[in-house]
Amino acid sequence: MLSVKTLGQLSDRSLPDSWKWAILDTLRLHNRCDLSGAETATVVSLLSEAGANGQNSDKLRSVCLQKLGSFLFTQREITTQKVPDLKDALEKQDRAALPKRDDANVKQAAKLIDAIGTYKTTLQKTADEVKDEQIKANLKKRLTKWEPTSVTPTK
């Protein structure tokens, strides 16, 4: 089970960055398929905040956003494997393309689409703020990887 308290230590100013990186590596967020909706939302929130926090080092901000991107990618893959008819909407990052039914999977997919949108905004904002040119280029490269896919061609 994910320890929200452990992940919350990313905001602890007394911890060195190397410890924060160790926390991120130990939790192995990119391999987590056992998280509840609330835990997923917490992970997204905490990593997004750490990545956006201008008081963190550029390197830590980049690492947090990299981990968040991997986590969101994994969550998208898990969701599309579980419910294949959500794949198109998730790849397009389009809430309007979600099926018009009221179930937990559709609601979770909508939250995931929103989280991806927030992630992209945070990536862009952070890329504009960081001073290190290599980190800036890396953040912008990650942003291009999250462009929505085009409309699925029909045969």
Q: What are the strands, taking DSSP E only, across the chain?
A: none
Neighbouring residues of 126: CB distance < 8 A, sequence distance ≥ 6: 51, 52, 61, 62, 65, 139
Q: What are the strands, taking DSSP E only, across 11-113?
A: none
Q: Read off the pTM.
A: 0.84
For residues 20 and 8, what is the distance between their CA atoms, to the nearest angstrom? 10
Write out the chain's pLDDT in tens, 155 residues.
456 677 777 777 777 888 887 887 777 776 667 677 777 888 888 889 888 998 889 999 999 899 899 889 988 998 899 999 999 999 999 999 999 988 888 998 999 999 999 999 999 999 999 999 999 999 999 988 888 765 544 44
